[in-house]
Amino acid sequence: MKIQQSIVIAVSAILTSAVLANDHNELEEVVVTASPHQKSAQEIAGSFNLIADEELQREAAATLGDTLQNQVGISSSSFGTGVGNPVIRGLSGKRVEILQNSSSVGDASDISPDHAVASEALLAERIEILRGPATLRFGPGAIGGVVNVIDNRIHSTPFEGIAGALETRYSSNGDATAVVGRLDAGFNKFNLHADAVRRDNNVISIPGAAHADEPDAGSEHILENSNAEAESFSTGLSWIGDDWVIGYSFSQLNNNYGLPPESHDHDHDLEGHSEEPESETFVRIDMQQNSHQAKLLFTNLGSIFEQLDIDLGYTDYQHSELELQTGSVDIGSLIESVSHDLRAELTHGDYAGWRGAWGFQASNRDFGSSGDEVYIPPSSTQRRGFYWLEETALPLGTLELGARYDQQTISTTTNSIGHDSLNIGGSWMVDLNTGQRISLILSHSERAPAAEELLTDGEHIATNSYEIGDPTLQTETANSVEVSWVFQDNSRFNARVSGYYNRFNRYIYEQDNNLSYSVKLATTGLQGLASCSADLVDFDNSAENLAEAVSCFSYQQRDASFTGIEFESGWSLSDTQRLELQGDLVRGRFNSGSDRDIPRLPPARLRLSWIYESDVWRGDINLTHAMAQTRAGENQQQTAGYNRVDASLSYQLDSVSVILKGQNLFDQTIRNATSFLRDIAPEAGRNLTLAVRYQF
């Protein structure tokens, strides 16, 4: 303990002597994806998050969720160390669209919580999180928002010369290492891009026991099977003319990560008896993805139309759920997905006081699965969508309107299920004076059920659950309102406050039925919920067999409401010092029923930061207070609150930068309320990261 305290005191002393001020406004940053007309951040109505430059270098982590978790309104849903998917305002999965350079990332992260996002934050140049009418440009049903990871593989603006960066990282927890490289070259009308990353970590340490209720179960102070390794590279080439751009890129990602042992403890024979395995079984996910993207951009089309932007994508994705025992490796299931995507957008300038964009989007996803433990049948999902965005200046403020219509068809070998969806949104933003503005956003959103929500029926080895879909699910709808107030005084103070309310009709969710899967019932021919029971007779009158059987989850629909508030503010104490305070709270409830709390929502959070910044030094000390999540939902465990202290110190001189970052410095036990594994897999303990970057 004395050594641990000494580390904290030493880091704090360094930060106190040299520490931090961050002008977090980034007012002049051009936001390409949030608007077809390249609005700056202060022109965006409602909530908007942007991470770029040195902030992204500090926050970048092995998973996208971990990279974004310190942004207001955003949490991470972890499933061990290899998975961290973003949760925006309590919404995740199909309700959050993940993009890579404005195109679908094409992975399986929205199918199940144990699937990682196939995007490397360490290679990103910037990450944008969008909400409001602008999300209509990228897909239907992104009620939570859109996360766009931008790495500029295909350059659309010319430059001459060679630029690049090389970075290496080491983290103490798990002896994690990462090496990142990037190269950009421009000559005549050709631009070339190349990047690569290689990272790995050993088993991570945790403050105490992994299991919340059984301190003696499993290994103490380590999270077993949490080692991971990944490598990714991409190349891109573009040819830029006076009024056009032609480009192509290729990327490949390989990711291998383990799942906490108790997340998949399912050793049962056909009679439902528990068996003691000869050696402990571990499950790992082995993921591969190849992506091809092409771009055609035509500019200066005429007096009215400005440009036509066409993006094409092809993604080949697969992952295996591997069962590892001493001397053997078995494939429990193999998931394969091949996606084709087309997005075309035509923008126009001022016409009768309006400017905007019209777009068409089409995608086809062939999903296949095989193995002894397949739980989602093969299917093909086709989508076609049209969208329209317009904005105009009013005598009082700016009005933006948008609409999108989509058709979705999911086909299997025996059936075809179709849904239509209509999304409508509008925003009104008013500048009260030079430093203040308010905005109002109204939207009607519809989301068609996904293939796994409709068709799933089987035991999912990775999540230790029996999942049951419902082919009769209807389109989910949400009516939303958001009000935001922004105050910006560049010399002393800035603040943003947003409040929102989402009312869902037919909200789709996974219900823990408080039942267990009975192999005995299944062998009689029963399927779905009929094969689940809480009766001892269906488990050979053995309480132990019942306790060890996997839990049953079924996709259901209920009306629900989400209410939340977010704020972030900053005070300049001097030319070099600054204080920042941010917080968020979301409450989700079903509109009827005995237990109305929606499960796995993040708790209320407050984050206080002290920042120092000089010409070459920057540092920060951050205190995050997360309250207890006492509204855990039906059949779910509550999570305790926690106080987490993080800090960083960076030095920048010419082309070299050095960053020292400390996370969870007081080694607190943190159980993530949004995680399916919060009871058996706490977040990582204390970690120190050293990163060195050379840019040229």
Residue ranges and CATH numbers for the domains of the chain are: 2-695 (2.40.170.20)
Question: Distances in Å between the alpha carbon of 186 and those of 192, 234, 238?
Answer: 6, 17, 10
The pLDDT tens digits for 657-691 are 999 999 999 999 999 999 888 888 899 999 999 99
Q: What is the pLDDT of residue 99?
A: 93
266 vs 536, which has greater pLDDT? 536
Q: What is the pLDDT of residue 111?
A: 84
Least confident of 96-100, 250-254, 435-439, 633-637: 633-637
Instruction: Using the predicted structure, report yes or no on whether residue 466 has a pLDDT greater than 60.
Output: yes
Are the C-beta atoms of 130 and 150 separated by less than 8 Å?
no
Q: Mean pLDDT over residues 483-507, rounded?
A: 91
Instruction: Using the predicted structure, report yes or no on whether residue 635 has a pLDDT greater than 60.
Output: yes
The pLDDT tens digits for 544-577 are 999 889 999 999 999 999 999 999 999 999 999 9
Q: What is the pLDDT of residue 31?
A: 67
DSSP symbol at 202: -
DSSP symbol at 327: T
Q: What is the pLDDT of residue 32?
A: 64
Instruction: Using the predicted structure, report yes or no on whether residue 696 has a pLDDT greater than 80.
Output: yes
The pLDDT tens digits for 30-72 are 566 777 877 777 778 878 888 998 899 999 999 999 999 999 9
Kindly indicate the confidence band of residue 218, based on its pLDDT and cuts at 50, 70 and 90. low
**Nearest-angstrom CA–CA distance, 391 and 399:** 5
Q: Mean pLDDT over residues 206-218, rounded?
A: 77
Q: What is the pLDDT of residue 29?
A: 55
**Nearest-angstrom CA–CA distance, 588 and 504:** 10
Least confident of 369-373, 447-451, 603-607, 643-647: 369-373
Mean pLDDT of the chain: 88
β-pairing, 551-572 with 465-468?
A: parallel
276 vs 298, which has greater pLDDT? 298
Instruction: Using the predicted structure, report yes or no on whether residue 446 has a pLDDT greater than 60.
Output: yes
Instruction: Using the predicted structure, report yes or no on whether residue 213 has a pLDDT greater than 70.
Output: yes
Collect all residues with Cβ–Cβ distance below 8 Å to 678 and sequence separation of at least 6: 212, 637, 639, 671, 672
Element (H, E) at 68: helix 64-68
Instruction: Using the predicted structure, report yes or no on whether residue 384 has a pLDDT greater than 70.
Output: yes
Kindly indicate the confidence band of residue 263, based on its pLDDT and cuts at 50, 70 and 90. low
Kindly indicate the confidence band of residue 637, based on its pLDDT and cuts at 50, 70 and 90. confident
Strand positions, DSSP E, 126-189: 126-130, 145-150, 161-171, 176-187
Q: Mean pLDDT over residues 342-349, rounded?
A: 95
Element (H, E) at 14: helix 2-18
Q: Mean pLDDT over residues 480-504, rounded?
A: 91
Nearest to 19 by CA among 631, 562, 619, 625: 619
Kindly indicate the confidence band of residue 216, based on its pLDDT and cuts at 50, 70 and 90. low
Nearest to 404 by CA among 446, 440, 355, 351: 446
Question: Distances in Å between the alpha carbon of 42 and those of 25, 194, 575, 579?
Answer: 9, 32, 23, 21
Kindly indicate the confidence band of residue 219, based on its pLDDT and cuts at 50, 70 and 90. low
**Nearest-angstrom CA–CA distance, 517 and 460:** 11
Q: What is the pLDDT of residue 688?
A: 97
Q: What is the pLDDT of residue 264?
A: 56
Instruction: Using the predicted structure, report yes or no on whether residue 607 has a pLDDT greater than 60.
Output: yes
Element (H, E) at 543: helix 543-548
Q: Mean pLDDT over residues 132-137, rounded?
A: 84
